[in-house]
């Protein structure tokens, strides 16, 4: 036997790692030696192989043969000293695996090619432990045998991790992940295992445990990670959400478990942040619809807002029966989803940020409509909805001005309703924008005005022209429940607004009884199904011609 092949170093390296194979070749004899893990995994005839080049070549994926032979050919013809390429090779299970193959050609004292040696690393096998957190990696999670038993798997994610990184920087992001991993590790004793899954997502595996045990662990994780103190003394508030799946014998498809975990987590993050939610068929149906909705909305927007339309609901004079204006309300029919209402699709647009472009489309349509109707039917004001983030857009005010100039509309006939006022983070900043918009002649309304602290705070800080009283007080008037309290609330809101010189719109007037009560309290405008539901353009034109029947 040749010394080159039977070097003790070969023995040492051959057992260094499961995922690395080594080989050495006596070029003159064309005899090579392969580590035993390679012999077994690639089903080679033995440790020592004559003319291995040909045999190995047959194992390489047809698409990768050229890359391999070109590179190895250059080395064996003496044109280059090092072999380095990636290719797929057939293993003994009949599957191709990706390998990174590196080798070096050594010459003897006469300068002739003598020894070729190198290593092949499996690219599909990754580390067992995560380098940042020290937890087991997702590859280890995928190795777990779900077929022999039952239990719970939990996927945990940090809420708003991206914005934490934006605020504090990547360095703190890593520190937080490490701190969370440490807590998880300390809570996972016995058969429980913690893994780093993706980015800010972790998995806790609870074999032979039930929902109750998962809930218990989740609450302990939540409590222990509520506030993380960094090495330099910063205190960062943290919230964690989790999705969970119960697995049982016979139902062990890992990809299915993982996709259900992701589904449950993304659902929880959206509807009930900071809690634990178990996968259910119901959640899956909702998520699938939301995904389809998102896709459909994106296509509509890209196709010049195809499927979007404005409906109009009259605003009636509270001292007579005249239609003084209307609120423009968005409707949408997608190519696949035809029945989504604004309460369903607007939050999706808000979340994706598309509300900015759709809102601009609404603004331009409403302004164009005002011009058309004013020419046909005389003076009429149009209210349209604007979400908080639209007001914050850099060019919003400019575009508003450009649209009234383009269509030749007086801003005095336009009312911008601030929707979702509970999201206002900085009233001071918004107040400046409102000032500017009002100084240009537009009016501002605060929508869904209630009795909460946030509403009062906004009333105090935001310069507005109108208040729209939240439907819920008004609608309750009709069924008599809390009748006295609702009346008192509406009455005091009206009193407050009069003191502040704000006009008041009462929404949600659904029947004559409510209409009578409200009118006696003296608001300025009425809006509700009693007068009309929101209707399409042509139906609203009928109403403008004939009045409300
Ligand atoms: P909102 O601004 O509070 O609009 C009034 C909602 O109350 C409308 O629902 C209207 O149909 C409904 N409504 C009117 N009268 C009555 C009544 O007597 N009884 C009852 N039960 N409901 C009544 P819609 O059209 O489904 O709109 C829902 C929400 O969607 C709006 O609430 C608004 O927040 C949002 N939205 C609609 N269009 C737009 C838009 O263009 N931009 C933005 N950002 N949001 C919009
Ligand atoms: Ca509104």
d(CA 135, CA 182): 8
Q: Is the CB of 342 under 6 A from ligand 1?
A: yes
Q: According to the model, what pLDDT value does residue 349 have?
A: 95
Q: What is the pLDDT of residues 234-289, one digit of tens each?
A: 899 999 999 999 999 877 688 899 999 999 999 999 889 999 999 999 999 998 89
Among residues of the chain, what percentage have pLDDT more than 90?
74
User: What are the residue ranges of helices labelled H in 42-188?
Assistant: 52-59, 65-76, 138-143, 161-168, 170-187
Atom of ligand 1 nearest to the CA of 470: 3
Is any atom of ligand 1 closer than 6 Å to the C-beta of 314? no
The mean per-residue pLDDT over the stretch 322-350 comes to 96
Q: Flag whether 374 is in a domain.
A: yes
User: Which residue's C-alpha comes closest to atom 14 of ligand 1?
Assistant: 528
Mean pLDDT of the chain: 92
Q: Which atom of ligand 1 is nearest to the CA of 419?
A: 34
**What does the DSSP 8-state code read for residue 411?**
G
- Spatial neighbors of 289 by CB under 8 A, at least 6 apart, are 337
94 shares a domain with 21: yes
Q: Identify the pLDDT of residue 481.
A: 66
- Distance from the CA of 415 to the center of ligand 1, in angstroms? 15
Whether residues 92 and 114 share a domain: the answer is: yes
Annotate 404-427 with b (16+ C-beta within 10 A) or e (fewer).
beeeebebebbbbbbbbbeebeeb
Classify residue 485: in a domain, yes or no: yes
pLDDT of amino acid 67? 93
Is residue 32 domain-shared with residue 100, that is, in the same domain?
Answer: yes
Q: Tell how far the Cα of 331 is from the centroid of ligand 2, in angstroms.
A: 13
Ligand nearest to the CA of 469: 1
User: How high is the pLDDT of residue 15?
Assistant: 72
Average pLDDT (348-352) is 92
Indicate whether residue 508 lines ligand 1 (CB < 6 A). yes
Whether 288 maps to a domain, the answer reads no
Distance 426 CA to ligand 2 centre (A): 21
User: Does residue 491 share a domain with residue 379?
Assistant: yes
Point out the ligand nearest to the CA of residue 315.
1
Assess whether 55 and 162 both reside in one domain: no
Q: Are residues 99 and 141 both part of a single domain?
A: no
Supply the range of the domain harboring residue 467.
311-542
At a CB cut-off of 8 Å and minimum separation 6, what does 390 contact? 355, 356, 359, 360, 396
Q: Does residue 285 sit within a domain?
A: no
Point out the ligand nearest to the CA of residue 470: 1
The answer, yes or no, to whether any atom of ligand 1 lies below 6 A from the CB of 385, is: yes
pLDDT in tens, 186-234: 999 899 999 999 889 999 999 999 999 999 999 999 999 999 998 888 8
Domain shared by 248 and 351, yes or no = no
Convert the pLDDT of each residue in 396-424 to its tens digit.
999 999 999 999 999 999 999 999 766 78
- Assess whether the C-beta atom of 346 lies below 6 angstroms from ligand 1: yes
SS3 readout for 364-402: HHHHHHHHHHHHHHCCCEEEEEEEHHHHHCCCHHHHHHH
The ligand placed nearest to the CA atom of residue 511 is 1
Q: Find where tokens 């269509």 sit.
A: 407
CB-CB contact of 392 with 424 (8 Å): no
Q: Average of pLDDT values for 494-507?
A: 94
Shared-domain flag, residues 179 and 107: no
Of 452 and 364, which is predicted with more confidence? 364
Give the domain CATH number at 106.
3.30.450.20
304, burial (CB in 10 Å: exposed 0-12, middle 13-18, buried 19+): exposed
Same domain, 163 and 102: no
Q: Spell out the residues 6+ positions from residue 80 whose beta carbon is closer than 8 angstroms to its own.
A: 74, 105
**pLDDT tens digits along 96-142:** 999 999 999 999 999 999 999 999 998 877 678 888 899 999 988 98
423 and 466 housed in the same domain:
yes
Tokens, residue 248: 């049982």
Q: Please tell me whether the overall predicted TM-score, pTM, comes out greater than 0.85 for this model.
A: no
529 lines ligand 1 (CB under 6 A): yes
Asked whether residue 302 is assigned to any structural domain, the reply reads no
Q: Is 471 in the pocket of ligand 1 (CB under 6 A)?
A: yes
Which of 122, 145, 177 is the C-terminal boundary of a domain?
A: 122
**Among the bound ligands, the one closest to the CA of 386:** 1
Domain shared by 460 and 534, yes or no: yes
Q: How far is the CA of 508 from the centre of ligand 2 (A)?
A: 11
Element (H, E) at 87: strand 82-90
Residue 417 CA to ligand 2 centre (angstroms): 6
For the chain, what is the domain count? 3
CATH code, 265: 3.30.70.270
Does residue 375 lie within any of the structural domains?
yes
Residue 2 has pLDDT above 70, yes or no: no
Q: How far is the CA of 329 from the centre of ligand 1 (A)?
A: 6
Domain assignment present for residue 295? The answer is no
343 lines ligand 1 (CB under 6 A): yes
- pLDDT (tens digit per residue) in 21-68: 999 999 999 999 999 989 989 999 999 999 999 999 999 999 999 999
330 pocket-lining for ligand 1 (C-beta < 6 Å): yes
By most ligand atoms within 8 Å of CB, the mutation choice from 297, 305, 311, 329 for ligand 1 is 329
- Tens digit of pLDDT for each residue in 385-399? 999 999 999 999 999
Residue 501 belongs to some domain of the structure: yes
Residue at a domain's end among 63, 94, 122: 122
Are residues 68 and 182 both part of a single domain? no
Alpha helix segments (H runs only) across 77-150: 138-143
As a 3-state breakdown, the chain gives helix, strand, coil percent values, each rounded to 5, of: 45, 25, 30
Q: Ligand 1, closest atom to CA 534?
A: 11
| Placement of tokens 């537009």 in the chain | 442
CA of residue 266 to ligand 2 center, whole Å: 29
């Amino acid at each position: 036997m040749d010394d080159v092949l039977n070097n003790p170093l070969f023995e040492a390296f051959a057992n260094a790692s499961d995922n690395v194979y080594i080989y050495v070749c006596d070029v003159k004899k064309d005899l090579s030696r392969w580590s035993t893990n390679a012999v077994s995994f690639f089903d080679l005839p033995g440790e020592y192989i004559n003319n291995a080049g040909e045999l190995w070549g047959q194992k390489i994926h047809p698409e990768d043969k050229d890359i391999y032979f070109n590179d190895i050919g250059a080395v064996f013809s003496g044109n280059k000293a090092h072999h380095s390429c990636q290719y797929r090779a057939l293993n003994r299970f009949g599957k191709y695996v990706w390998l990174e193959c590196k080798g070096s050609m050594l010459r003897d004292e006469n300068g002739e090619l003598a020894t070729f040696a190198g290593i092949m690393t499996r690219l599909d096998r990754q580390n067992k432990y995560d380098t940042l957190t020290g937890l087991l990696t997702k590859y280890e999670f995928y190795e777990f045998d779900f077929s022999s038993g039952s239990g719970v798997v939990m996927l945990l994610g940090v809420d708003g991790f991206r914005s934490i990184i934006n605020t504090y920087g990547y360095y703190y992001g890593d520190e937080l992940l490490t701190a969370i991993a440490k807590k998880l590790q300390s809570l996972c004793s016995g058969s429980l295992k913690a893994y780093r899954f993706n980015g800010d997502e972790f998995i806790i595996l609870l074999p032979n445990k039930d929902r109750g045990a998962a809930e218990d662990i989740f609450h302990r994780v939540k409590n222990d990670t509520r506030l993380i103190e960094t090495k330099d003394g910063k205190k960062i508030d943290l919230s964690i959400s989790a999705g969970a799946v119960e697995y049982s014998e016979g139902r062990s498809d890992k990809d299915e478990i993982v996709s259900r975990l992701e589904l449950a987590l993304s659902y929880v993050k959206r509807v009930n942040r900071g809690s634990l939610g178990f996968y259910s068929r119901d959640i899956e149906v909702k998520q699938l619809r939301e995904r389809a909705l998102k896709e459909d909305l994106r296509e509509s927007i890209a196709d010049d807002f195809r499927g979007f339309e404005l409906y109009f609901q009259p605003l009636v004079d509270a001292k007579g029966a005249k239609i003084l204006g209307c609120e423009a309300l968005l409707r949408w029919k997608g190519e696949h989803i035809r029945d989504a209402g604004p309460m369903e699709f607007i939050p999706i647009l808000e979340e994706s940020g598309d509300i900015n472009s759709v809102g601009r489309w609404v603004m331009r349509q409403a302004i164009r409509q005002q011009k058309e109707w004013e020419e046909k039917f005389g003076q009429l004001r149009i209210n349209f909805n604007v979400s908080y983030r639209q007001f914050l857009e850099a060019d919003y005010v400019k575009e508003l001005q450009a649209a009234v100039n383009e269509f030749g509309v007086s801003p005095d006939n336009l009312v911008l309703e601030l929707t979702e006022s509970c999201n206002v983070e900085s009233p001071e900043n918004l107040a400046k924008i409102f000032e500017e918009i009002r100084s240009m002649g537009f009016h501002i309304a605060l929508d869904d005005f209630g009795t909460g602290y946030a509403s009062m705070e906004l009333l105090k800080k935001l310069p507005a022209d109108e208040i729209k009283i939240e439907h819920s007080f008004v609608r309750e008037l009709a069924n008599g429940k809390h009748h006295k309290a609702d009346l008192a609330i509406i009455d005091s809101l009206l009193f407050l607004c009069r003191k502040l010189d704000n006009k008041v719109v009462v929404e949600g007037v659904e029947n004559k009884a409510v209409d009578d009560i409200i009118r006696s309290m003296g608001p300025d405008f009425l809006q509700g199904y009693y007068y009309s539901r929101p209707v399409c353009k042509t139906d609203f034109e009928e109403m403008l011609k004939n009045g409300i029947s």
